[in-house]
């Protein structure tokens, strides 16, 4: 459905930032085209990120429950086995259902979809090169760069997506590796490390810094690591990977060097290595130099508070600009950017963006960590409530974790909420709303929560004196 008509806005990239911006523009009656080169909408998130990883986390969690927990509740099953092929089919079904759903939403909202590689040839023109090489040019008042991010590797380490894999390869392995080494103890490493560990891989995470889950509250990260260790994931912190060598027997050796007190030096033998050391913005081959769009050292498009680059008609959102690389952050920016183009409005509150690690238990947070508040010299109170004291967690036999709430001593305003526990990713929404509305702990404490639910732990954490702990 590509168009020759002058557009109000052309969006390059059909991920959560770009496709949401496209639908919003369509809803506001703007003439909009989304250019996407992948052949499918949904970007990294739907195709090789959030969605397939959550499908595999769900499936592997069910396998583990069936194998190790069902019998505790009187549920008797025969031998429990994994079919990786069937699990991958289920993953693909969830991906395909959602990506094709976006095409339907585009039609409904009159969003033109141009399949091909987009590049900016002038401040008001985007050239699209289709898969067969055909080129066309779309004239437009404004351009939004929503080209997202791509995997990075380590110097000298070639990702083959079979044995040395990025998250993309780790989402499509055909067998369960006997030994998996994960380089990088961030979100991808912990989520995908959990998937394959549950399915039977002996999993070792090698992390350069002294902690895992960068960005999470330090106390939570420490307890989370202990929890993952109980799930048989091994950690080597303060450890640098110096290289990966292929062995004659088909295995690989991950060579490491200690960079601190608890570090590890030596070779770790593995069948598969997952490289998850971060992602970089995809802003190359976009024609940015041609029109003079400025990027920072990391390759991110530099934008002002309205997502405008140094070129008046060129905007950028999502993983291609600064800030956390999260789908919901990209979506918020997509909507705010289009609202700004439409009527000058649009705003994102970066202080109220939740983060979630979808392991079991989940880890979720919003606002400031304890370390950040200490660094700022803030005067704050700390409330904590363990799921062990929550009746629903007890009846679910799933009591690992706690809620931690940080609030201002003088005003009682909530500054940060950190949850480790089953369903933490769902539970955090209430705290995000609290931070967004500037609520106090007393506001949450005086709000009626259904019983028995896990979210009562958030309420009790907010109480000056919890009833059950
Ligand atoms: P992207 O989703 O990367 O989309 C950009 C799109 O632009 C791509 O489809 C690309 O093909 C296209 N494109 C690029 N250049 C061009 C061009 N020149 N012409 C045409 N098209 C182009 N975030 C969460 O919030 N929750 C999660 O659970 C989560 N899980 C993740 C799991 C994994 C394994 C990974 C890798 C990421 C995960 N993320 C998660 C991060 C999330 O995927 C990204 O933050 C999000 O996709 C960013 O959205 P975006 O629209 O900015 O970019
Ligand atoms: P990350 O930035 O979360 O973690 C990378 C980790 O690798 C860091 O802990 C870093 O210290 C470590 N590291 C870097 N170089 C290293 C080296 N040479 N040796 C050992 N360790 C090294 O990046 P990750 O996990 O690759 O994820 C990329 C992005 O995707 C993140 O920004 C995240 O926001 C997003 N994502 C979000 C998810 C979610 O919201 N649930 C799930 C998966 C990804």
Over residues 218-230, mean pLDDT: 98
Burial class (CB in 10 A: 0-12, 13-18, 19+), 210: middle
102: pLDDT strictly greater than 80: yes
CA of 45 to the centre of ligand 1 (A): 5
Q: Using a pLDDT cut of 70, give the percent of the chain over it.
A: 99
Mutation test residue for ligand 2: of 44, 171, 277, the one with most atoms within 8 Å of CB: 277
pLDDT tens per residue across span 237-277: 999 999 999 999 999 999 999 999 999 999 999 999 999 99
Q: Per-residue confidence at 74, pLDDT binned at 50, 70, 90? A: very high
Q: Is the CB of 13 under 6 A from ligand 1?
A: yes
Question: Which stretches of 74-186 are DSSP H helices?
Answer: 84-108, 167-170
pLDDT tens per residue across span 301-355: 999 999 999 999 999 999 999 999 999 999 999 999 999 999 999 999 999 999 9
Top pLDDT among 87 and 2 is at 87
pLDDT at 398: 98
Rg of the chain over all Cα atoms, to the nearest angstrom: 24
224: pLDDT strictly greater than 80: yes
CA distance 335 to 348: 9
Burial class (CB in 10 A: 0-12, 13-18, 19+), 154: middle
* Element containing residue 123 per DSSP (H, E): none
CA distance 360 to 188: 14
pLDDT at 468: 97
Q: Per-residue confidence at 376, pLDDT binned at 50, 70, 90? A: very high
CA distance 361 to 5: 51
- Measured in degrees and rounded to the nearest 5, phi and psi for residue 253 equal -110, 125
Number of Cβ atoms within 10 Å of the Cβ of 172? 17
CA distance 263 to 207: 9
Q: Which of 230, 242, 8 is nearest to 111 (CA)?
A: 8
Mutation test residue for ligand 2: of 58, 171, 184, 274, the one with most atoms within 8 Å of CB: 184
Q: Is the CB of 205 under 6 A from ligand 2?
A: no
pLDDT tens per residue across span 153-173: 999 999 999 999 999 999 999
Q: Which ligand has its closest atom nearest to the C-alpha of 126?
A: 1
1: pLDDT strictly greater than 70: no
pLDDT at 339: 98
Q: Per-residue confidence at 3, pLDDT binned at 50, 70, 90? A: low
Q: Please enumerate in sequence order all residues whose Cβ is within 8 A of that of 168, keeping only pairs 6 or more positions apart, or say none.
A: 48, 151, 161
| 418 has catalytic annotation | no
Mutation test residue for ligand 1: of 148, 337, 432, the one with most atoms within 8 Å of CB: 148
Q: Is the CB of 319 under 6 A from ligand 1?
A: yes
Q: Using a pLDDT cut of 90, give the percent of the chain over it.
A: 99
CA distance 332 to 350: 10
pLDDT at 295: 98
Structure tokens that stand for 86 in this block? 């069937």
CA of 79 to the centre of ligand 2 (A): 36
Sign of the torsion formed by the C-alpha atoms of 15, 345, 425 and 98? negative
449: pLDDT strictly greater than 50: yes
CA of 47 to the centre of ligand 1 (A): 8
Sign of the torsion formed by the C-alpha atoms of 357, 358, 360 and 365? positive
Average pLDDT, the chain: 97
pLDDT at 124: 97
CA of 194 to the centre of ligand 2 (A): 14
Q: Per-residue confidence at 5, pLDDT binned at 50, 70, 90? A: confident
> Which SS3 state, helix, strand or coil, does residue 453 take?
coil
Q: Which of 117, 328, 347, 451 is catalytic?
A: 451
CA of 367 to the centre of ligand 1 (A): 23
ipTM: 0.98
Over residues 434-449, mean pLDDT: 98
Half-sphere exposure of 6 (CA within 13 A, CB side): 4
pLDDT at 255: 97
């Amino acid at each position: 459905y590509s168009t020759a008509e002058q557009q109000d806005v052309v969006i390059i990239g059909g991920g959560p930032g770009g496709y949401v911006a496209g639908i919003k523009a369509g809803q506001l009656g703007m003439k909009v085209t989304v250019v996407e080169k992948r052949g499918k909408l949904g970007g990294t998130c739907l195709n090789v990120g959030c969605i397939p990883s959550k499908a595999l986390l769900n499936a592997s969690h069910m396998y583990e429950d069936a194998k190790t927990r069902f019998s505790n509740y009187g549920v008797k099953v025969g031998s429990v086995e994994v079919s990786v092929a069937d699990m991958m089919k289920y993953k693909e079904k969830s991906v395909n259902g959602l990506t094709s759903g976006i095409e339907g939403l585009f039609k409904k909202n009159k969003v033109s979809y141009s399949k091909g590689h987009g590049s900016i040839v002038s401040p008001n023109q985007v050239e699209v090169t289709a898969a067969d090489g055909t080129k066309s040019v779309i004239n437009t008042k404004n351009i939004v760069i929503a080209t997202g991010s791509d995997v990075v590797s380590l110097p000298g380490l070639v990702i083959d997506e079979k044995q040395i894999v990025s998250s993309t390869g780790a989402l499509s392995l055909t067998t369960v590796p006997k030994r998996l080494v994960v380089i990088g103890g961030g979100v991808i490493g912990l989520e995908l490390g959990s998937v394959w560990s549950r399915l039977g891989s002996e999993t070792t995470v090698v992390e350069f810094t002294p902690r895992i889950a960068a960005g999470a509250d330090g106390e939570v990260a420490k307890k989370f690591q202990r929890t993952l260790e109980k799930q048989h994931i091994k950690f080597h912190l303060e450890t640098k990977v110096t290289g990966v060598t292929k062995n004659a027997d088909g295995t690989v050796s991950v060579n490491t060097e200690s960079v601190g007190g608890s570090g590890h030096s030596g070779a770790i033998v593995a069948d598969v290595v997952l490289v998850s050391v971060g992602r970089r913005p995809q802003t190359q081959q976009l024609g940015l130099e041609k029109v003079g769009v400025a990027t920072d050292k990391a390759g991110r498009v530099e934008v002002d508070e309205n997502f405008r680059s140094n070129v008046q008609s060129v905007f950028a959102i999502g993983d291609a600009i600064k800030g956390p690389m999260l789908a919901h952050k990209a979506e918020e920016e997509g909507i705010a950017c289009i609202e700004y183009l439409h009527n000058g409005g649009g705003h994102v509150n970066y202080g109220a963006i939740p983060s979630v690690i979808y392991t079991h238990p989940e880890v979720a947070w919003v606002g400031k960590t304890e370390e950040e508040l200490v660094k700022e010299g803030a005067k704050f109170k700390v409330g904590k409530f363990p799921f062990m004291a929550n009746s629903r967690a007890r009846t679910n036999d799933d009591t690992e974790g706690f809620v931690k709430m940080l609030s201002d001593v003088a005003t009682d305003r909530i500054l940060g909420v950190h949850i480790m526990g089953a369903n933490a990713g769902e539970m955090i929404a209430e705290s995000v709303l609290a931070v967004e509305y500037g609520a106090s702990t007393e506001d949450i404490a005086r709000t009626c929560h259904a019983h028995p639910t896990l979210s009562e732990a958030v309420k009790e954490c907010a109480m000056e004196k919890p009833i059950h702990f």
